[in-house]
Structure 1
Amino acid sequence: MNVAGGRELAWDGCVNVRDLGGLGQVRPGAVVRMEAPTRLSESGWATAWAHGVRTVVDLRNADECRPDVASRPPGITTVRVPLEPLGTPFYEHWQKIDDLASPLYYPAMLAEHPERVVAATRAIATAAPGCVVFHCAGGKDRTGLLALVLLTLAAASPEEIIADYLLTYERMRQRYAELGFGDQLAAVNECLASHGTTIAASLTSTIGSLTMPDFLLDNGLPEADLATLHARLTT
């Protein structure tokens, strides 16, 4: 089931699935990040269930959702928490800059729409016992932002967070090619270079400016949910 030292997971039908356990203080089996599980086969869902998954947090907008190839086990609850603030000046602004497809927009998102990030975080904190999967479409940008928040809370180093973020480009390379997209890593590097930065520098700056747990508490996460989240991630 597990490859590459235990963090990367082989769930039939999806290519970008990994447990965040082992990064910072996160325990294995607490949270898993992935691309949309639409292509998971019946055996893929069975493997997710065997990993302990009982909740799926979907960060996509409603119009992105597609029918699953195979039915989800009835014991798995899906919670939809759209992360992108569609129809806002923020969204229109960043769509023109990087199409919300690079870490460049992360600081602005955290500053201007923290309530959406906190809502996604709270969905994980208040989920039923068991492993929580969170995903967007490709498991890179929205998923990457939520992973950054969780990992920063769990005292992961910037190096760990950056390395985890970069894994998605390799894992999704073939899937992007199937969709007719070019080299996404090269495209993002080019975009960030035009703004005088890099992926690593942009992520490091975001992590450095994110004070935990104050960010979550100051933006509406109840202290009880913070305690529950910390226990879920680390205990």
Structure 2
Amino acid sequence: MTSYGRRVTSTRTDRWLHLDGTTNTRDLGGLPTVDGGTTQFGRVLRSDNLQTLSDADVRTLVEEVGLTEVIDLRTTAEILMEGRGPLRAVDAVTHRHFTLLPERGLRTDVFAAEEDDEEIRAQLPADWAESILPRQHAPGDEGEPPAVRSYLGYLTDSADNVLAALRALTAGPGAAVVHCAAGKDRTGVVSALALAVAGATPEAIVADYAQTAEIIDALVAKLASSSTYAEDMTRRDVASHTPRAESMRRVLEVLDQRWGGPVGWLEQHGFGADEQSALRARLRD
């Protein structure tokens, strides 16, 4: 199998992986670390929704990147509404679901069920489709900007799933991709924590988060074309969807103030030394 890291570093310097069916897929490799090193290519990718991958995209991810793990941060409702993506048909790829938003109604292993199963849908509350992307705010953080409140909310209300997603990044023998719908908010927080464990500089973590702004117009247009996300995309302007460096910078500041940093938050929530070592090795060695 071709090494994704060798392929990318020999042909380009940016970290974007240009696929037909995604807009916001990039590698967490190539970022500077506090000890003067860099994170490795071909270990962990971050992405927007994978539902519209082309056959060529699937070949790239499986045969060239060596993808074996998909960590899906969407809600059950999102997965049910979007349906099966093409990677679901690949036996070598394991899908894991860890929602970072409050679930309404059904809590199940949605990957073990057929999304078009009417019995599954019947278990959801009548208004489930209107609550696909609920906003989430941590108590005591009302004075923070909206994005910061939401991100701290993930860490307050969904800490177990944040930790589970990070553990899943090291579960398989090959590369992993972590994604949500846009690949910027939920994915951004999990990616930031993974990079912190790997020793990436705070500036690199912030820059990686903000990089989605480069493609935000195309990303909003893609999501607006899906009935699942159209209303959320069109009721606000593009600027309101655009990630800003100061949002992630503020999250890191809050983690420093309350927990001694992102790694401190992880340690105090049960993500121990052995797990940190495994995640660091995945992104560094």
Give the TM-score normalised by structure 2: 0.67
1:81 to 98, 101, 110: 98
- Residue 239 of structure 2 is matched in structure 1 by 186
- Residue 121 of structure 1 is matched in structure 2 by 166
| Residues in 1 aligned to 2:73 and 2:178: alpha-carbon distance in whole angstroms | 7
Q: Is the 8 A contact 1:16 1:139 kept in 2?
A: yes
1:70 to 86, 96, 118: 86
Q: Is the 8 A contact 2:70 2:94 kept in 1?
A: yes
| Greater CA drift, 53-62 or 102-111 | 102-111
Deviations 1:111-141, CA, capped at 9 Å, x for gaps = 454222112111213x111111000011011
- Residue 48 of structure 1 is matched in structure 2 by 61
Q: Is the 8 A contact 1:58 1:134 kept in 2?
A: yes
Q: How far is 1:218 from its partner?
A: 1.7
Q: Which amino acid aligns with 1:220?
A: G
| Residues in 1 aligned to 2:265 and 2:75: alpha-carbon distance in whole angstroms | 24
Q: Is the 8 A contact 2:67 2:175 kept in 1?
A: yes
The 3-state SS of whatever aligns with 1:221 is coil
| Greater CA drift, 153-162 or 114-123 | 153-162
2:155 to 104, 110, 119: 110
| Greater CA drift, 136-145 or 73-82 | 73-82
Q: How far is 1:227 from its partner?
A: 2.0
| Greater CA drift, 33-42 or 223-232 | 223-232
* Correspondence 1:15 to 2:23: yes
* Correspondence 1:146 to 2:190: yes
1:61 to 64, 67, 75: 75
Larger Rg: 2
Q: Which amino acid aligns with 2:52?
A: R
Shift in CA distance, 175/7, structure 1 to aligned 2, threshold 3 Å: closer
- Residue 26 of structure 1 is matched in structure 2 by 39
| Residues in 2 aligned to 1:37 and 1:81: alpha-carbon distance in whole angstroms | 16
Q: Which runs of 5+ in 1 are unaligned?
A: 190-197
Give the TM-score normalised by structure 1: 0.80
* Correspondence 1:215 to 2:265: yes
Q: How far is 1:30 from its partner?
A: 1.1
| Residues in 2 aligned to 1:138 and 1:63: alpha-carbon distance in whole angstroms | 15
| Residues in 2 aligned to 1:29 and 1:5: alpha-carbon distance in whole angstroms | 14
Shift in CA distance, 18/184, structure 1 to aligned 2, threshold 3 Å: farther
Q: How far is 1:86 from its partner?
A: 3.1
**Cα RMSD, aligned residues only:** 2.9
Runs of 4+ aligned residues of structure 1 deviating over 6 Å after TM superposition are: none
Q: Is the 8 A contact 2:137 2:149 kept in 1?
A: no
Q: Which amino acid aligns with 1:123?
A: A
The 3-state SS of whatever aligns with 2:19 is coil
- Residue 173 of structure 1 is matched in structure 2 by 217
Q: Which amino acid aligns with 1:59?
A: L
Q: Is the 8 A contact 2:151 2:189 kept in 1?
A: yes
| Greater CA drift, 41-50 or 207-216 | 207-216
Q: Is the 8 A contact 2:27 2:41 kept in 1?
A: yes
The 3-state SS of whatever aligns with 1:5 is coil
The 3-state SS of whatever aligns with 2:155 is helix
